[in-house]
């Protein structure tokens, strides 16, 4: 059998007879740069097994060692690994520390689900079936985007999501840190961003397309610089890069509420309704100074080689009505005020390049003059034909994120009890059949490549972690598998055949997922503000 109950499904699996017994006599063996992976495995196993396994530098005299080793001669791919479970030993081999981390996560999934709990619930040794795994990811970018601007999420929940992402062998946590409805990043030189721009007096309730009203309750929060450094460090220890997103020049009403002089029209409060605001940055020197200062903080706090600058859904109405904007566009030699968007973006990209960072933007960055060819483009508008193909042909690397397959804020089914969500439906079955490289991309001739794909959790209708988890799981498993495993192998061993074991792990971890049979009574939208559209 070449399948094991693991998500994402590894590339090559060989079952063997027998089992390895995990008990207190087992020792973890590692040296040099493999030691952090051994400590990761130690820390992940201890709560649910009760075993504080020794970490040694040699397996001499050890009856049943678990050996973690870096060996470029055996594994070439930087995130690949070998995992070999025999009755008398376990070997985890990789080319890099990150690859060893993915071997650790796969080994965890070979154990009984109860070992993922926070304390032991059964006594005695734990059996692990013998198996050989040779594995590597399909794509280098395997992401999860969490929108913390629409609804702020506590730091402890972000750390939990890092752990859950790592279990799925995702390697990017994309944080959407600003929008019209809230600003979440501390910027010391612009203090009012977190004094005024980080909270709103109330929040819209009800479906997006049929707004019911407002809840009358203030909402807000922001991350201090040390909070973000902690999240970045925690994620790095689990193989994830945190990619920050600071969207410009649109989606900035929260910033304009704090600093009205950065805008074109009169002061505007932090937006309380959903949808994008018509109020955007003015093409003035102060706005450029603001962008540079924010990006300096971002590049100081986040070591990620990528910084996301948004660039989507920027209305031009204010610029078109502004004499100053028209004059500024003429001075800059732009064909119209519409090109001010790409002017803003190119300024940000140039600054990021001076900080040795590569810009990422939503696919609208290709409009009105475009951006430099090394900008990574996230293609999300699945209703625009051949968008990814055109973007790659223009020389841009692409992260595939079509809304119909990867936007997990959509309804999960047609069940009448589904809680309010964005008014489209994306089922687990649909996402499980998603291929980031469909046939029309195979023949694209150009410099651009598909770097990978990611899931998206836009939080207009997710005000707390329970709601986020309900919308994320189990569909996140399908996106993670699309990012890691080739389509042919996924068709051969579909996710639904492994779903029962996967959900048992979510149960052990306390994840509030949506059951395959539909929402539980307390997960339903009911007849109130969370009623289905």
Annotated active-site positions, please? 179, 251, 313
Secondary structure of residue 9 in the 3-state scheme: coil
DSSP E strand boundaries for 39-160: 54-56, 65-70, 81-86, 89-94, 126-135, 141-147
Secondary structure of residue 504 in the 3-state scheme: helix
Tell me the C-alpha distance between 421 and 475, whole Å: 15
For residue 262, give the DSSP letter: G
Directed axis angle between helix 155-167 and helix 465-472, to 10°? 20
Contact (Cβ atoms closer than 8 angstroms) between residue 447 and residue 436:
no
Q: Which residues contact 141 (CB under 8 A, 6 or more apart)?
A: 171, 172, 399, 451, 452, 453, 454, 483
For the chain, give the number of residues.
533
CB atoms within 10 A of CB 157: 17
Contact (Cβ atoms closer than 8 angstroms) between residue 257 and residue 195:
no
CB atoms within 10 A of CB 221: 15
- Sheet with 81-86: strands ordered across: 12-22, 126-135, 81-86, 89-94, 65-70, 27-29, 54-56
């Amino acid at each position: 059998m070449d399948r094991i109950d693991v998500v994402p499904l590894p590339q090559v699996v060989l079952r063997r007879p027998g089992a390895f017994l995990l008990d207190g006599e087992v020792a973890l063996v590692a040296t040099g740069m493999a030691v952090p992976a051994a400590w990761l495995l130690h820390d992940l196993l201890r709560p649910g097994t009760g075993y504080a396994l020794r970490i040694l530098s040699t397996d001499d005299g050890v009856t049943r060692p678990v050996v973690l080793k870096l060996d470029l001669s055996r594994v070439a791919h930087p995130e690949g690994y070998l995992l070999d479970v025999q009755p008398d030993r376990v070997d985890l081999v990789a080319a890099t520390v990150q690859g060893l981390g993915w071997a650790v996560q796969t080994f965890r999934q070979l154990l009984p689900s109860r070992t993922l709990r926070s304390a032991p619930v059964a006594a005695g040794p734990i059996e692990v079936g013998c198996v050989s795994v040779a594995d590597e990811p399909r794509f280098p970018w395997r992401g999860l985007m969490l929108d913390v601007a629409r609804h702020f999420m506590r730091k402890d929940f972000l750390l939990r999501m890092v752990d859950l992402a790592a279990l799925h062998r995702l390697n990017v946590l994309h944080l959407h840190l600003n929008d019209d409805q809230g600003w979440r990043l501390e910027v010391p030189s612009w203090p009012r961003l977190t004094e005024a721009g980080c909270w709103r007096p109330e929040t819209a309730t009800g479906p997006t397309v049929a707004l019911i009203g407002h809840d009358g309750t203030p909402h807000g929060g922001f991350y201090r610089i040390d909070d973000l450094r902690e999240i970045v460090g925690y994620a790095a220890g689990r193989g994830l890069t945190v990619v920050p997103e600071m969207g410009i020049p649109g989606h900035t009403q929260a910033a304009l509420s704090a600093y009205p002089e950065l805008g074109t029209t009169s002061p505007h409060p932090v937006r309380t309704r959903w949808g994008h605001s018509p109020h955007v940055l003015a093409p003035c020197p102060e706005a450029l100074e603001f962008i540079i200062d924010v990006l300096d903080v971002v590049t100081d706090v986040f070591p990620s080689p990528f910084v996301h600058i948004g660039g989507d859904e920027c209305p031009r109405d204010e610029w078109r009505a502004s004499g100053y904007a028209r004059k500024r566009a003429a001075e800059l030699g732009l064909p119209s005020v519409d090109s001010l968007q790409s002017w803003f973006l190119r300024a940000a990209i140039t600054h990021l390049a001076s900080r040795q960072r590569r810009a990422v933007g939503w696919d609208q960055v290709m409009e009105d003059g475009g951006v430099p060819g090394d900008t990574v483009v996230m293609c999300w508008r699945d209703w625009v034909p051949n968008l990814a193909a055109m973007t790659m042909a223009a020389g841009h690397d692409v992260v595939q994120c079509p809304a119909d397959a990867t936007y997990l804020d959509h309804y999960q089914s047609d069940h009448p009890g589904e809680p309010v969500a964005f008014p489209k439906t994306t089922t687990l079955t649909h996402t499980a059949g998603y291929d980031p490289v469909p046939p029309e991309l195979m023949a694209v001739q150009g410099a651009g490549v598909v770097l990978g794909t990611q899931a998206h959790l836009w939080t207009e209708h997710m005000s707390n972690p329970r709601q986020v988890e309900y919308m994320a799981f189990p569909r996140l498993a399908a996106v993670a598998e699309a990012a890691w495993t080739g389509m042919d192998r996924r068709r051969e061993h579909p996710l639904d055949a492994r779903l029962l074991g996967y959900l048992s792990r979510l149960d052990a971890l306390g994840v509030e997922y949506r059951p395959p049979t539909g929402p539980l009574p307390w997960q339903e939208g009911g007849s109130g503000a969370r009623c289905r559209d």
